[in-house]
Structure 1
Amino acid sequence: MKMPELQLPVGVSLHSAQSPQAIAEILAERVAEYLRLRLAEAPEATLVVSGGSTPLPFFRALRDKPLEWARIKIALADERWVLESDPASNAALVKRELLKDAAAEARFVLFNVSDKDAADAVSELEADATGLTFPVDVLVLGMGTDGHTASLFPDAPELACAMEPSGEQRVMVMTPPSQAHQRVTLTLPVLAQARFKVLHLKGHDKIATLARAAEAPDDWSAMPIRAFLQAGLNIYWSP
């Protein structure tokens, strides 16, 4: 299959395959390889993933990889402010699709969603984040057709604060009017400092979005994904 032609910034790599399953297998092997390398150097490794439908084949391919899963922490890049009993819960998705079989021994570091308003739980969410190891070792992001990634939405009033490179907050509550739920997200300083950064995409609509983002990589306020189009980003795409 011909690789899509994109004018990406120098140092951004693009990998493609003919199907979501094929690219998921390639990505899972690469992530597993990186986690093994980190575990050879450090007592534990941290993997941050995203929710939605795109990563499901990746989760299923990764969970049976021969890794020392008990030494791996897994967290979400973002979460909808809903209880795990809600179908929109990314935490429930990760538990159901990734934390199974061999990967069941991994430690899941949660955003502890509660019945209170998300804005009233910021201190608790920051405390949850201390369960991670920084910098994050592996980060797997997704992207919406509006150019958002994690819960860094263009219309969120909190976006500028969450995108502040020198910001001290690791977790922020986001309230984009375009979304049905409040969101919780790791901030740009946390996400951007990950050692191995991946953008996992599916569909020609996502390639079209990526092409628009690459046209003006400095204007992250319109498309937050632009802040991640930097050297070292690894894009994995399938139709």
Structure 2
Amino acid sequence: MKTLDINVPEGVDVVTAEDAHTVASMLAEKVAGVLANRLRQPGRASLAVSGGRTPVAFFELLARKPIEWARVDVVLADERWVEETHPASNAALVKRYLIQGPAAAANFLSFWRAGMSPVDASADADQALAAIEWPLTALVLGMGNDGHTASLFPDAPELYQAMDVKRPNHVVTLTPPSQPHARVSLSLRALAGARYKALHLRGMDKAETLKLACDQLDDVAEMPIRVFLRLGLVVYWSA
């Protein structure tokens, strides 16, 4: 079995397995447990998830968990500014694979606002998300090979504002030149406070990126994932 041969920072745990499906199953079991534990108390639970190909199996497995989904608010860590009919839409991905079966009872809050600019939609979504539980009960992040996570891209002109935890915004707009679409994303303030934080990765390329991120934790502008490695989280990885 391939393992992560990386010296991770203190506070970072690593979970690996033989294959991606097993890792997705372990992550789904853990997140379901975190949500169920929160739901033993009055109130609601909140879950933020990421898009891309990697989390599809995790979504499908989590959706089947018999928790009290009607008391769970699901939000995206970030979204490309495209309609939900677009193949790049994270909202469409989450609706297709996670908001199904038992999890169809969850309250899913999309960032997309038809007819609005990304900036106006961010402000509107920020107000809508004020009603969910903060800090987030659980957060599942992904990571790009440039070290971005959510839509905290190294080349985004708005990166410093998005990572300024003194700003009150939970939702921000970013326009990284490296990307074909504008982005709407949870801010660092919104993401960093999550009670349970996981980073879900697949592939040796992501292992190499993670190693590079761990080697120089101080330069967070170069690789924003370093902020979360410094805060502490659980890495779920398969080759």
TM-score of the two chains, using structure 1 as the length reference:
0.97
Q: Which residue number corresponds to residue 235 of structure 2?
A: 235
- 1:2-37 CA-partner distances (Å, limit 9, x unpaired): 521111111100000111101000110011111111
Alignment of 1:136-175 (within 5 A): 136-175=136-175
The equivalent residue for 2:128 is 128
Unaligned runs of 5+ in 2: none
Q: Within 2, Cα distance between the matches of 1:42 and 1:199?
A: 28
- Displacement of 1:133 after TM fit? 1.2
Q: Using the TM superposition, name which of 163-172 and 195-204 deviates more.
A: 163-172
Q: CA, structure 1 residues 43+7, in 2 after alignment: closer, same or farther (shift >3 Å)?
A: same
Identity among equivalent positions (%) equals: 50
Where does the alignment leave 5 or more consecutive residues of structure 1 unmatched?
Answer: none
Partner of 1:81: 81
Task: Measure, in 2, the Cα distance between the counterparts of 1:161 and 1:145.
Answer: 22
Q: 2:54–2:201: 8 Å Cα contact kept in structure 1?
A: yes
Alignment-mate amino acid for residue 143 of structure 1: M
Q: Give the count of matched residue pairs.
A: 239
2:172 counterpart SS class? strand
User: In the alignment, is the contact (CA less than 8 A) between 1:83 and 1:114 conserved in 2?
Assistant: yes
Q: Would the aligned equivalents of 2:192 and 2:231 in 1 still touch at CA under 8 Å?
A: no
Deviations 1:51-95 (A, max 9, x none): 010000000111101101111111100001111111111101100
Aligned mates of 1:88, 1:2 — CA distance in 2:
31
Match of 2:221 in 1: 221
CA contact under 8 A between 2:112 and 2:121: conserved in structure 1?
A: no
Runs of 4+ deviating beyond 6 Å: none
The answer to whether 1:51 aligns with 2:51 is yes
RMSD of Structure 2 on Structure 1 (CA): 1.1
| CA distance in 2 between partners of 1:77 and 1:5 (Å) | 28
Equivalent pair of 1:156/1:176 in contact (CA under 8 Å): yes
Amino acid at match of 1:69: W
Q: TM-score, normalised by structure 2?
A: 0.97
